[in-house]
Amino acid sequence: MSSQNRNLSVQAISSEMAMRLVEQYHYSHRRVGARHAFGLFDGRELIGCCVFSVPASYTLCKGVCGQSYQQQVIELSRLVVIPRERNLASRLISECCRTIGRISNSIIVSYADGNEHVGHVGYVYQACNWIYTGTGNAEPVWLHPLTREVVSYTRRHIDLKAKALGYDWRDLIKQPQIGKHRYVAFCGSKAFRKEAKSNLKYPVLPYPKGSSKMHPEKIDTNMLF
């Protein structure tokens, strides 16, 4: 069904409602804390969500535009759009940013994971005219010793995750990664957007290009984040 024939709307939803969608459809299948959660609806059916969180990294909050702006920094941490239709993901992100901008002045950061197990470039952020600022710091992922599927994206609780699979954590394969593509957007008043953007500490770089690996059962074909 074309998006032109859908009854689309973007509405605030509960964190729990968003996390159920994330656990089922997002490639990470991992929950996150949510400051804002929005759902993409077709009529009464929830077909996508966008979750914004407080960044776990204090360095990121302070590093984007300096210490005086660190309280305004949030992260677009989870994005899910189920139907394979063009422009749904960028439409969802744009509407969420407009809504957040009406609530408060905000600096939004999001990442596109270009590593082999995910294979994203960030085209959806490029479609929304976000600023590309290079790549963030890289952390290794931990793989199953037989299937080489990702067991954990972080070192946190890796012993418990390995034990649940019948392994010691030292049996897992530690695979180095490249840094994720980092994008930044400014929401709020015109004066805030201009001032905060002028204080951006990261370099403004040309958009990266390249092919994106798809997860057709999980995401919209235009949601190349």
Output the pLDDT for position 91.
93
Nearest to 214 by CA among 76, 84, 40, 30: 84
**DSSP letter, residue 121:** -
Which residue is listed with tokens 């951006």?
Answer: 200
The pLDDT tens digits of the residues spanning 80-93 come to 999 878 889 999 99
Contact of 169 with 162, CB cutoff 8 Å: yes
Tokens 């759902």 correspond to 39
Write down the pLDDT at residue 216: 34
Instruction: Tell whether 163 and 123 lie within a shared domain.
Output: no
Query: Among all chains, which residue has been given the structure tokens 């957040």?
Result: 100
pLDDT value of residue 101: 96
Split into its structural domains, the chain has a count of 2
Closest to 13 in 3D by CA, of 107, 73, 80, 84: 80
- In a domain? residue 116: yes
CATH number for the domain that contains residue 119: 3.40.630.30
Average pLDDT of span 108-132: 82
pLDDT at 114: 58
Provide the pLDDT for residue 44. 94
Q: Flag whether pLDDT at 163 surpasses 80.
A: yes
Residue 53 has pLDDT above 60, yes or no: yes
Q: Are residues 48 and 157 in the same domain?
A: no
164/192 same-domain check: no
Q: Are residues 131 and 183 in the same domain?
A: yes
Same-domain pairing of 111 and 25: yes
Residues 92, 186, 54, CA angle at the centre, nearest 5°?
A: 75
Looking at residue 56, its pLDDT comes to: 82
Asked whether residue 12 is domain-assigned, the answer is yes
Q: Do 30 and 68 share a domain, yes or no?
A: yes
* pLDDT tier, 29 (very low <50, low <70, confident <90, very high otherwise): confident
CA distances from 131 to 127, 200, 202, 205 (A): 11, 10, 10, 8
Residue 114 CB partners (closer than 8 Å, separation 6+): 120, 121, 135, 178, 180, 181, 208, 210
Do 166 and 100 lie in a common domain? no
Looking at the predicted structure, is the pLDDT value of residue 219 above 90? no
The tokens of 37 are what? 């959660």
Pair (80, 172) in one structural domain: no
Is residue 1 a part of any domain in this protein?
A: no
| More confident: 96 or 118 | 96
Q: Mean pLDDT score of the chain, rounded to an integer?
A: 86
Q: How far is 5 from 19, CA to CA, in rounded Å? A: 27
Residues 168 and 82 in one domain: no
* For the chain, percent of residues with pLDDT exceeding 90: 57
Q: For residues 172 and 143, is the Cβ–Cβ distance under 8 A?
A: yes
The answer on 160 and 204 residing in a single domain is no
* pTM exceeds 0.85 for this model: no
65 and 147 both lie in a single domain: no
Which residue(s) pair with 131 in the sheet?
184
Range of the domain at 13: 6-138+179-225
The reply to whether 78 falls in a domain is yes
In a domain, 120, yes or no: yes
Lowest-pLDDT choice from 25-29, 70-74, 103-107 = 25-29
Instruction: Report the 10 Å Cβ neighbour count for 170.
Output: 9
Domain co-membership, 25 together with 117:
yes
Nearest to 184 by CA among 100, 125, 98, 118: 125
Q: Is the pLDDT higher at 223 or at 211?
A: 211
